[in-house]
A = this chain, B = another copy of it.
Amino acid sequence: MVVLKEMAKSDLQAMQAELQSLYDDFQKRGLKLNMARGKPSPEQLDMAMGLLTALPEDERPLDDSGEDTRNYGLLLGINEARELMAEYLGVPAANVIAGGASSLNLMYDTVARAMSFGVLGSTPFSQQGKLRFLCPVPGYDRHFAITEAFGFENIAIPMTDEGPDMDLVEKYVNEDPTVKGIWCVPKYSNPQGVTYSDAVVRRFAALKPAADDFRIYWDNAYEVHDHYPNTANTDQLLNLKTACDEASNPDIWYMFASTAKISFAGAGISALASSEANIADIERRISIQTIGPDKVNQLRHVRWFESLGGGKGKGLQGIKLHMQRLSELIAPKFEKVDAELSRGLADLDIASWRKPRGGYFISLDVVPGTAKRTVLLCQNAGVTLTEAGATWPGGYDPADSNIRIAPTYPSLEELALACELLCLCVKLAAIEKLLS
């Protein structure tokens, strides 16, 4: 074991020279790898190709109620899509709006609606002065970007191993009426892979917001995205709706989900769930906004998932079976990253990372002050990582230590190479820092 910061300066310099030589070799190889975003690999997408022809051309695509999915109507989506996504989220179908390809768009629209029209009759956010939104960190950059765009002050809330720091969340939410929401990825969080504990979910449900238009934005992006499904090595998330109902807080939650990382990333179906009062409020607004979601694609998804699951009403079984197949592609990639990081960085005391049991990311913490440098070194040798700082509001990580790794898109061979380079860069940046 060689703890880097205990090494003599001359040894550090020798190590730096050796690493630099390896890095120069990498640069000569002309790599072009991308681990920047949580994109499914082509092989994952190939496993959903049956979706393309799930609706035969010789049969009108009618839903169970006889409605023609090709035509106008059914603003909240077809019943069977609402039911499938309801089962997926663990809520009744009456609480669900089934949407189009992008759940991010549902989240954006939910914030935008509150800006223009308020929430359940409250004053529009745009007329309430400067407002705040809570952002667990490290977290999902695209969440933070939405509230930043609408002028919110995004407040960083540190993550713990059980979820956001709830003492801080309670303090903000229960005492500050300008706090209007919190972004959550409650299961296999982006980027750490933390699943909120039952106690954390219950504390969310029991919040007593100072603002009556405060809402929990619960982006359950990875509900079925276990790396080891059907084993003890999976996380369980307590149901937020149930907890909120028990805490007599029925309207405090919005849930979001999509099949983006189940079927096709850019052509799935999505869902927004909330209390019936919230859904009725939203329905009234979206009746002005749109003629409705693509119901043909909703039916296509339901039919295909049902065919995988073994028949009518077995869509969720189909999803789970499909996710098990996908996990056989995904889990080895996460294991490869973990193994490479262990091989390259263990014992040096310059980096730490979590080994998530699901989701799409690995969160790597490097020596404070070296994350940006590490990402730049990787970039200059042909491996693109998520920009350092992206996991913080405004793209600014005050410690400059967090790096998000997205292992799903590259092949195993590419991953091994990229991680080898990453470890090299983490070490180079750390030594530079120690020597400076």
Contact surface of A with B, Cβ cutoff 8 Å: 37, 39-40, 42, 45-46, 48-53, 55-58, 60-61, 68-74, 100-102, 104-105, 108-109, 112, 115-117, 124, 126-127, 142, 145-146, 149-150, 260, 264-267, 285, 288-297
Contact = CB atoms under 8 A, between A and B. Distances in A.
A291 B294 CA distance: 16
Given A46-B60, A294-B267, A104 B289 contact: yes
Contacts of A117: 149
A51 B70 CA distance: 11
Give the one of A48, A101, A112, A267 with max B CB within 10 A. A267
A160 to B, nearest CB: 29
Contact of A116 (B48, B72, B150): B150
A296 B266 contact: yes
A307 to B, nearest CB: 13
Contact of A53 (B57, B69, B108, B146): B57
Copies in the complex: 2
A88 B69 CA distance: 25
Contacts of A264: 70-71, 296
Contacts of A53: 52-53, 55-57
Give the one of A52, A104, A115, A296 with max B CB within 10 A. A52
Contact of A45 (B55, B70, B285): B70
Contacts of A109: 289
A146 B287 CA distance: 10
Given A49-B57, A116-B126, A150-B116, A72 B291 contact: no
A293 B266 CA distance: 7
A50 B70 CA distance: 13
B70 A61 contact: no
Contact of A285 (B42, B100, B149): B149
Contacts of A267: 69-70, 294-297
Contact of A266 (B37, B40, B291): B291
A398 B295 CA distance: 38
B265 A105 contact: no
A266 B116 contact: no
A57 B292 CA distance: 27
A291 B102 contact: yes
Contacts of A150: 116
Contacts of A293: 101
Contact of A265 (B56, B72, B108): B72
A329 B39 CA distance: 45
B145 A288 contact: yes
B265 A71 contact: yes
23 contacts: A42-B68, A49-B57, A49-B58, A52-B56, A52-B57, A70-B264, A72-B265, A100-B100, A101-B294, A102-B290, A102-B291, A105-B289, A112-B112, A112-B116, A115-B126, A117-B149, A124-B126, A145-B288, A146-B288, A264-B296, A265-B291, A266-B294, A267-B296
A156 B423 CA distance: 67
Given A37-B72, A149-B288, 7 more contacts: A49-B60, A101-B291, A108-B289, A115-B116, A116-B150, A264-B296, A267-B294
Contacts of A297: 267, 294, 297
A334 B288 CA distance: 28
A295 B289 CA distance: 21
A73 B260 CA distance: 12
B100 A101 contact: yes
Given A266-B69, A266-B296, A294-B101, A57 B50 contact: yes
Nearest to A38: B72
A105 B71 contact: no
A151 B109 CA distance: 18
Contacts of A266: 69-74, 291-292, 294-296
B108 A288 contact: yes
